Amino acid sequence: MFEEFMGIPAHPLLLHAAVVFVPLLALLTVGYAFVPPIRPHTRWVLGLLAVGAPVAALLTKLSGDAFLERMRAANRVTPEFLPKLEAHQEFGDITLYASIGLGVVALALVRLVPPRPAEGARPRLLTPALQVLSLVAAAVTVYYVFRTGDSGAKAVWEGQ
C-alpha cells in the first residue's frame, strides 16, 4: 500500500511532507510556548500540525520500510550497503517517536495554555514546564529529522 504511487516509489514523495511539517511543528510549538502574541493566531494551525506532522512521519516510515523490502526482494541491496540503510531506518524510527512526543507537547500547549492571558494573572507552573518540554522536544525532533535525512541522502548518493 505504501510502496508506489503512479509507478514511482512512494518514499521519496512522502518524505517531503515530513521534512516540511515536522520542523514546522517544532518551530510553531516553540513560538506558541514563548511568544504569547502569536497564540490566538496560530492555535488551530498548531493543533492541526500536532496531528499532521506525526502522520506524515508515520507514512514516510511505512513507505520507507516497504521500499527497503522491495529492494531486498529484488536483490538490489548488497550486504555491505545494508548497514547504511538500517541506520537510516533506525533514525527514521526515532524521528517518528520524537515527532509523536512533540505533537503531544504541542496539543498540551494548545489545550492548557490560554491564547490570551488574563489581565494581572501570573503564569501557572504548568506554562514554564510546557515551555521547557517544548524546547527539548523540538530540539530532539529537529536533530533526528536532520540525522534521518542526512543518512538517507548519503545512502542514496554513495550508492550500493
Q: State the pTM of this model.
A: 0.91
Instruction: Indicate if the pLDDT at residue 160 is higher than 90.
Output: no
Residue of 98 and 7 predicted with greater confidence? 98
pLDDT in tens, 55-96: 999 999 999 999 999 899 999 888 888 999 999 999 999 999
Residue 35: domain span: 9-115+123-158
Beta-carbon neighbour count of residue 49 at 10 Å? 23
| DSSP conformational letter for 3 | S
Q: How far is the C-alpha of 52 from the C-alpha of 49, rounded, in Å?
A: 5
Q: Please state the domain count of the chain.
A: 1
Has residue 15 been placed in a domain? yes
Asked if residue 3 is part of any domain, the answer here is no
Decide if 42 is inside a domain: yes
Establish if 4 belongs to a structural domain: no
pLDDT in tens, 44-59: 999 999 999 999 999 9
